[in-house]
Amino acid sequence: MAEQLNPQSARKILSPPGAGRILIRGTNWIGDAVLTLSALSAVRNSYPDARIFILVKPWVADIFRLCPLVDEIIVYESPGIHEGISGKLRLAGQLRSYGFDMAILLQNALEAAILARLAGIPVRAGYDTDARGLLLTHAVPMRRALKKIHQAEYYLQMVQALGCGGPESGPFLKLAAEDERNAEALLQTAGLQEQDLIIGMAPGASYGPAKKWRPARFGALAEQLALEFGAQTLLFGSAGDRETTKEVQRCSRQPLIDLAGGTDLRTAVALMARCRLFVANDSGLMHVAGALNLPTIALFGSTNPVATAPIGERNIIIYHGVECSPCLRETCPTDFRCLDGITTEEVFDVAKGLLCR
């Protein structure tokens, strides 16, 4: 187990700003955003009267629109109006207008500290990484042991080292009634009814092919689940995953519903919440499924489940730790044995056990 940080790990301990304004600089990717939710909960509990804003890129904003821990979202549009030096200065001026009392930088980049400094935020806290220590008023040292723990714990330990207490237990994502109605309408348009058994699959992974189980095996799994349980499979992913989801469809003799790139993230989350089971590679949608506390089968190959397993209490990880894994590479330089060792039959047996509970 990694060494636990304590409040003395920070250069200074944060003082409650009363009913002030706190800016959180969020992370840039869906999975990472989900893994910061425990830390965000700890900040919310420690400053119950504060108004909490989060600065995030557009593609992760919907995660926080479904998160009641946040009061307001500021969208960081780069590419877009915040691109380049002039765009960063424009964003800094926008942030300055809010009159923030403190900034907690969950993103580790130097840019996050520069923006907070340019915005005139008097208290700037975060990990002392990326040569930004002089820009932080409250720095938490980056220790080697922190790189060996789960990423959700990594973010949580940082805010706790700054003096925050513990988080609430999840799930941290809450659907509104409108989200649920929109999901049901889309399912009905696709010919599905409330009583139908729906399986979700996310066969893509933005990092690279070394994280992707074979599309043919996803297709064969969907076919087996249809024949055994009468299940209808929804394929989730971004527009960039369409080639993968189309290949999954071609490899299944049962009809599948391909949603990749066809909805915004918020609608996709609402549709995921209707699934009885979710099967995914190590990806952002895998983490969303965990945050929804869905029964989730997480397939790991080149990455490390110790660091990036989904949160939630209903996950089963399938990982064959061969001698070269986790390699953390985008493409496999050898024979892809880590993921090829995971058979369709193995995943189907796990899925069957979850569905029969």
Residue 169 lies in a domain: no
Residues 151 and 24 in one domain: yes
- CA-CA distance, 127 to 108, in Å (whole number)? 7
Peptide bond before residue 48 is cis, with ω within 30 degrees of 0: no
- CA-CA distance, 234 to 199, in Å (whole number)? 6
Predicted TM-score (pTM) of this structure: 0.92
Domain boundary among 113, 129, 161: 161
pLDDT per position as a tens digit, 284-294? 999 999 999 99
Contacts within 8 Å (CB) and 24+ apart, 295-299: 295/354, 297/347, 297/350, 297/351, 297/354, 299/213, 299/339, 299/342, 299/347
- Residue 116 is part of which domain span? 7-161
Residues 295 and 277 sit within 8 Å (Cβ to Cβ)? yes
Residues 345 and 318 sit within 8 Å (Cβ to Cβ)? no
Residues 196 and 95 in one domain: no
Residue 339 lies in a domain: yes
- CA-CA distance, 45 to 38, in Å (whole number)? 11
266-to-64, 80, 176 alpha-carbon distances in Å: 10, 21, 10
Residues 217 and 285 in one domain: yes
Residues 349 and 244 in one domain: yes
Residues 281 and 322 in one domain: yes
Q: What percent of the chain has pLDDT over 90?
A: 81
Residues 243 and 340 in one domain: yes
Residues 140 and 182 in one domain: no
Residue 302 lies in a domain: yes
Residue 173 lies in a domain: no
Residues 300 and 213 in one domain: yes
CA atoms within 13 A on the CB side of 53: 18
Residue 123 lies in a domain: yes
Residues 182 and 151 in one domain: no
pLDDT per position as a tens digit, 174-227? 999 999 999 999 999 999 998 999 999 999 987 778 889 999 999 999 999 999
Residues 182 and 328 in one domain: yes
pLDDT confidence band for 144 (50 / 70 / 90): confident
Question: What is the Cα 231 distance to its own chain's centre?
Answer: 26
Residue 166 lies in a domain: no
**What's 123's domain CATH number?**
3.40.50.2000
Total domain count, the chain: 2
Domain boundary among 132, 161, 190: 161
Residues 236 and 331 in one domain: yes
Residues 115 and 224 in one domain: no
- CA-CA distance, 294 to 274, in Å (whole number)? 9
Residue 188 lies in a domain: yes
Q: Provide the 3-class DSSP secondary structure of residue 221.
A: helix
Average pLDDT, rounded, for the chain: 92
CA atoms within 13 A on the CB side of 293: 8
- CA-CA distance, 48 to 288, in Å (whole number)? 25
Report residue 179 as tokens.
């989200």
pLDDT of 78 strictly over 90: yes
Domain boundary among 161, 193, 217: 161
pLDDT of residue 14: 84
pLDDT of residue 204: 93
Residue 167 lies in a domain: no
Q: Provide the 3-class DSSP secondary structure of residue 299.
A: strand
